Each structure stands twice: as C-alpha cells, then as structure tokens.
Copies of this chain bind each other. A is one copy, B any other.
Amino acid sequence: MSTTPVGRPRSESARRAVLQAVDDLLAEVGYAGVTMKGIADRAGVGRQTVYRWWSTTAEILLEACVADARDELRTVPQPDARRDVLGYLRLLEAFLLHSHAGLCYRVLLGETQHDGAVRELVARADILAPSARACLRRVGPRLQQDLDHDLHVAELVGPVVYAVLTTGGAPDLEALTDHLLAGWSRGGPAGA
C-alpha cells in the first residue's frame, strides 16, 4: 500500500552537502554563520532545496550531529563500577569539550532555552540520556541498587554539563565519581 513516488527523486548528494556545510560553518565561522542562506550557498545548493527538507537551522544541526553523538558516547563495560562511571564521565567530558558533535549539542541546548520548537525537537532526539542509562544499568546491580532513573541520569550528567556550560571546563571527575557512588550505595537520608 506504499505510494510510489513520482517525479525526480530526492538528491542524496544535496542532502549530504547540506549536512556537511552546516558542520563546517559551525566550526569555521561560529554559530552566527549558520544561516539558511549561508548553508545553501556553502553547500552549492538552492535555497528552496534546504527549505524543502528542513524548516530551521536547528533541524539541520540536529540531523548533522545526532548520529555522531551516539557513536562518540558509546561506552564499553568495565570490570568495576568506579572505572565504569569514571570512563563514562571522561567520555562525556571529551564529547562536550572537544567533539564537533558536542559543540552542536551545546549550541542546540542553548537554542532550546528560547525556542519551544527546538526544545521539543531536542527532547525527542534525547542525545545524552541513553548513554548515561546504559552506564547506570551496568553499575546499578553492582551496588545492589536500581539506578536507571531520570534523577540518576541528572546526577551523573548534570555536574559535568553545568560546569562545561558555565565555565567552559570540567570538574574533577575522580572525586565526582566517588561522591556519586557513595551517594548511591546507601539510600538512607544523611543528617548533620
């Protein structure tokens, strides 16, 4: 029951040229250069062609980086919980600070704050959480805990993200790992 497409098929080369162009522009001239017109010109593509397949620069950025992001955040299981968490945090730090896809992610997270459409888009893409959940699923059992929840994701990822967003640098990941594992290993409240 699939409708057979009629007319000239979509050009794969144009699609790739656009995604490449947005990546290059972001790296070379910064976000100010990421413009529908700029992307089209850089890609050697008609403006209408860009608008035909994407509505906003955010959509293009997302498509350009989301696959790379998944790859770069893929962790391998480690023999003990500490090394597992620490390994993930180091991967996350590298992603946010030095990766091309990480730069895209930060820019998109920024755009999210003043554009509801982008918020929906980025939320659906869910870039960081899956990798964090994978790590937590491995670590949880070894702490006799179930750690696969939004709160745990936020605790694991939040401090690094916050530090990178505000100061442009990452915190002491070893100490962070210790605090996290200590906090998770006993569930009771701690008073003064």
**A-to-B contact residues, CB < 8 Å:** 30-32, 80-82, 106-107, 109-115, 119, 122-123, 128-129, 139, 142-143, 150-151, 154-155, 157-163, 165-168, 171-172, 175-192
CA distance A168 to B122 in the complex (A): 12
Within 8 Å CB of A110, what residues of B?
109-114
Closest to A168 in B: B119
Within 8 Å CB of A171, what residues of B?
150-151, 154
Of the residues B80, B115, B168, B182, contact of A183 by C-beta under 8 Å:
B182
Q: SS class of chain A's interface: helix, strand, loop or mixed?
A: helix
Copies of this subunit: 4
CA distance A18 to B178 in the complex (A): 48
Within 8 Å CB of A109, what residues of B?
110, 113, 165-166
Within 8 Å CB of A154, what residues of B?
158-160, 162-163, 171, 176
CA distance A166 to B121 in the complex (A): 11
Contact sample, A vs B, 16 pairs, CB 8 Å cutoff:
A32-B114, A80-B192, A82-B191, A110-B111, A110-B112, A123-B167, A143-B190, A151-B176, A155-B179, A158-B163, A159-B159, A178-B183, A179-B180, A182-B190, A183-B183, A185-B190
CA distance A59 to B76 in the complex (A): 44
Closest to A165 in B: B109
Min CB–CB distance A137 → chain B (angstroms)? 14
7 cross-chain pairs, A with B, having the tightest CB-CB distances, nearest first: A183-B183, A31-B114, A142-B192, A110-B110, A158-B162, A158-B158, A110-B113
